[in-house]
Every structure is written in structure tokens, then in C-alpha cells.
Amino acid sequence: MAKKCEEFISGLADYIDGEIEPELCEEIEKHIGQCNNCRIMVDSLRQTVRLCREGKEEKLPPALEEKLTGMLKKRWKEKFGQA
Amino acid sequence: MSEAEIVKRAQAGDFEAFTELVNAHKDKLYAFVRKLTGDPDDTNDIVQDTFLKAIDKIDQFRGEASFGTWLTSIALNQARALFAKRKQGEMKPIEAYLPVGATNGEHPLAEASLFDWEDPLANLERAEIGRLIEEGLETIPFAYREAFLLRYVEEMSVKEVAATIGQTVAATKSRILRARLALRDFLSKRFEAKYGEKVRRIH
Ligand SMILES: [Zn+2]
């Protein structure tokens, strides 16, 4: 079983991302049904990406925005002669 | 007006059109660079320079990629220059992240955490998870982190990531996977440290 898990590891990520041939997909599904380690692996790999996407959506801080507006205007004038 | 039309107006010297582009992309760009660098000061510098460079090079934008992708690639080049000067940690071999060793101990390098995330995900605050993600991303060497973030935060295809970072598809895939495994393992160990004790006590 351990050997099998090892063979699956790169397939697991493709499986989660839906980028896998149906045949291998079936094989992986069957394996996950029997192997708790790989089930946890698949769940947590999936969650890792989800959390990363959802995690703290930082916005441009207002202080930077203010500074930026002035800087961009200045650079624009240098390039185009007007803003 | 479509973005392509707004870009054309900006390229003709219309500052208002350029401001519109900045406003449309600033938060997304900031969030991406923040994840990429893990540091608010670095992020400020890079975002600022990215928009300045966008003005300098706006005539060179041909619309092959979206304007957002173009900005991302400018920011990426700056982040790379910054991190090229800094010492990067080594990435563990892929075997270290395999689930097998955790149970049978056969593989000397294998120490993957196989902790069920159900409990931590139900209980941890979003802000705390965000902090952990930031901390975890920082442990991953830049070359792996950029590939991972382009793939899953910028939602590029593997091919697009490969083109952006100038690597083969196979090498890119491997980087994305290793970063993902490493981040997973980091989070899992943190979750286990916080919730493992409780679980053990119950069972
Ligand atoms: Zn398995």
C-alpha cells in the first residue's frame, strides 16, 4: 500500500485540479476509498488552495493610494506633457 | 467601454483612462504581491514601481495578454530582482511530503503530517488562517512560491505559468506541486499542534 501512495502523489494534485485521464481518476478514487492517508492528503491539498485563494484579501492601503496618485500624475506629465 | 479600448485611450495619453486601469487592478495586484513577498513594505515598493513602469512601457503593451497579466509580469520581475539578492531556503525532496512515512516510518525523510483538517477548519478564524498562510508561504523558496501563486491565485494554466516564469511545463508542474505539498504540510503541522492534543484527549 505504501508503494502505491507514493505512485499516486503527483497524480493526486492533477486529480484535484481535474486534469487527469478518466482511467487514472477511477483508480485514484478507488484507492482513496481504501486509504485514509491519501484521503486526508487529497482533502488537505484541496483546502490548501482554497484557503490560499480566500485568505486575507489585502487591499491597497489608503496611504499608499494617495502617494501613488501623486507619483503617477507626475510621471504621466513627464511622459505625455499633461495629465 | 472594453478594457482594450481604455488601454488604447491611455496609450494615446489620456490620464483618466490610465487611472481607470489602475483602479481596476490595484487591489488584486496588491493582494498578489503581498502573498508573493510576505512583507508590507516590499509590497508597497513593488506595487508603486509596477504602476510607474506601466506608464513608461505602456506603448509596448500589445494586448496579447490581459492588462492585469501584463501588470503581474512587471511586478514579478521586480519581486525576482528583490529576492535574487536574498538567501533562499532549500526545498525538501518530494518524498519528504509523501504520506507513507508518517505511518510506516520506512522513509527516513518522510515526515508529512496527516492530520484531519475538519476540526481546525471549523474552528479557526479566517484572519488566523490568513496569517498562517502568509507564514507558510514565506517558508517556500521564491521560485516555487511564484509558480504556485501564479497557478492558484492568479489562476493561470500550467502552460501560462511556464511561459511567465520561463521554465518547461514539466519543471513548472513540479514546482507548483512541491510548493503546494510544502504549504499543506506547514498548515497541517500547525493545525496538529493546536488541535491534535484535544483530539487525542477525546479519543
Ligand atoms: Zn494511499
Q: Which of B30, B61, B86 is the last residue of a domain?
A: B86
**If DSSP states are collapsed to H, E and C, what string results for chain B?**
CCHHHHHHHHHCCCHHHHHHHHHHHHHHHHHHHHHHHCCHHHHHHHHHHHHHHHHHCHHHCCCCCCHHHHHHHHHHHHHHHHHHCCCCCCCCCHHHHCCHHHHHCCCCCCCCCCCCCHHHHHHCCHHHHHHHHHHHHHCCCHHHHHHHHHHHCCCCCHHHHHHHHCCCHHHHHHHHHHHHHHHHHHHHHHHHHHHHHHHHHHC
| Distance (Å, whole) CA B164 – CA B7 | 22
Region of B105 please: left (phi>0), alpha (psi -120 to 50) or beta.
Answer: left
Contact B99 A40 (CB under 8 A): yes
On whether residue B203 sits in a domain, the answer given is no
Q: What is the pLDDT of residues B136-147, one digit of tens each?
A: 999 999 999 999
On whether residue B202 sits in a domain, the answer given is no
B67 HSE (CA, 13 A, CB side): 25
pTM of the complete model: 0.87
| Distance (Å, whole) CA A46 – CA B118 | 13
Contacts of B127 in chain A (CB under 8 A): 56
In a shared domain, residues B69 and B139: no
Question: What is the chain A residue with the closest CA to B125?
Answer: A55
For residues B74-103, give the mean pLDDT: 79
- pLDDT value for A55: 66
In a shared domain, residues B102 and B53: no
**Do A52 and B33 meet the contact criterion of CB atoms below 8 Å apart?**
no
Q: Which of B86, B103, B131 is the last residue of a domain?
A: B86
Q: Would you say residue B7 has pLDDT above 80?
A: yes
In a shared domain, residues B170 and B98: yes
In a shared domain, residues B131 and B105: yes
Of the ranges A20-29, A31-40, B121-130, B176-185, which is most confident?
Answer: B176-185
Q: What is the pLDDT of residues A4-26, one digit of tens each?
A: 676 777 677 888 888 888 888 88
- pLDDT value for A21: 84
Q: How confident is the model at residue B110 (pLDDT cuts 50, 70, 90)?
A: very low
Q: How confident is the model at residue B159 (pLDDT cuts 50, 70, 90)?
A: very high
Give me the number of domains chain B comprises. 2
Question: What is the chain B residue with the closest CA to A71?
Answer: B52
Going from the Cα of A34 to the center of ligand 1, the distance in angstroms, rounded, reads 8
Contact A60 B26 (CB under 8 A): yes
- pLDDT value for B17: 97
Q: What is the pLDDT of residues A51-76, one digit of tens each?
A: 998 866 789 999 999 999 999 999 99
Mean of the per-residue pLDDT values for chain B?
A: 88
Contact B187 A76 (CB under 8 A): no
Q: How many Å lie between the alpha carbon of B86 and the closest alpha carbon of chain A?
A: 24
- pLDDT value for B194: 86
Q: How confident is the model at residue A40 (pLDDT cuts 50, 70, 90)?
A: confident
Q: How large a percentage of chain B has pLDDT more than 90?
A: 68
Contacts of B27 in chain A (CB under 8 A): 57-60
In a shared domain, residues B98 and B30: no
Q: What is the pLDDT of residues B26-45, one digit of tens each?
A: 999 999 999 999 999 999 99
Q: How far apart are the first and last CA of chain A?
A: 67
On whether residue B120 sits in a domain, the answer given is yes
Going from the Cα of B180 to the center of ligand 1, the distance in angstroms, rounded, reads 18
- pLDDT value for A2: 53
| Distance (Å, whole) CA B79 – CA B77 | 6
In a shared domain, residues B100 and B75: no
Give me the number of domains chain A comprises. 1
- Residue B111: all three cell numbers together: 515526515
**Rg of the Cα atoms in chain A:** 24
Q: What CATH number does the domain containing B175 carry?
A: 1.10.10.10
Contact A75 B26 (CB under 8 A): no
Contact A52 B35 (CB under 8 A): yes
| Distance (Å, whole) CA B67 – CA B57 | 12
| Distance (Å, whole) CA B33 – CA B44 | 9
| Distance (Å, whole) CA B66 – CA B195 | 43
Selected residue of B21, B30, B97 to mutate for chain A interface (largest A Cβ count, 10 A): B30
Q: How confident is the model at residue B106 (pLDDT cuts 50, 70, 90)?
A: very low
- pLDDT value for B113: 77
Containing domain of residue A69, as a range?
A: 3-80
For residues A39-55, give the mean pLDDT: 89
On whether residue B145 sits in a domain, the answer given is yes
Residues with CB under 5 A from ligand 1 (ion): A 5, 35, 37-38
For residues B103-117, give the mean pLDDT: 59
- Residue B72: all three cell numbers together: 503581474
Q: What CATH number does the domain containing A56 carry?
A: 1.10.10
On whether residue B153 sits in a domain, the answer given is yes
Contact A55 B188 (CB under 8 A): no
- Which residue carries 483618466 as its cell? B16
In a shared domain, residues B53 and B98: no
In a shared domain, residues B129 and B74: no
Q: Which of B54, B86, B118 is the last residue of a domain?
A: B86
- pLDDT value for B46: 97
On whether residue B200 sits in a domain, the answer given is no
Containing domain of residue B70, as a range?
A: 3-86
In a shared domain, residues B76 and B122: no
Q: What is the pLDDT of residues B53-76, one digit of tens each?
A: 999 999 999 988 899 999 999 999
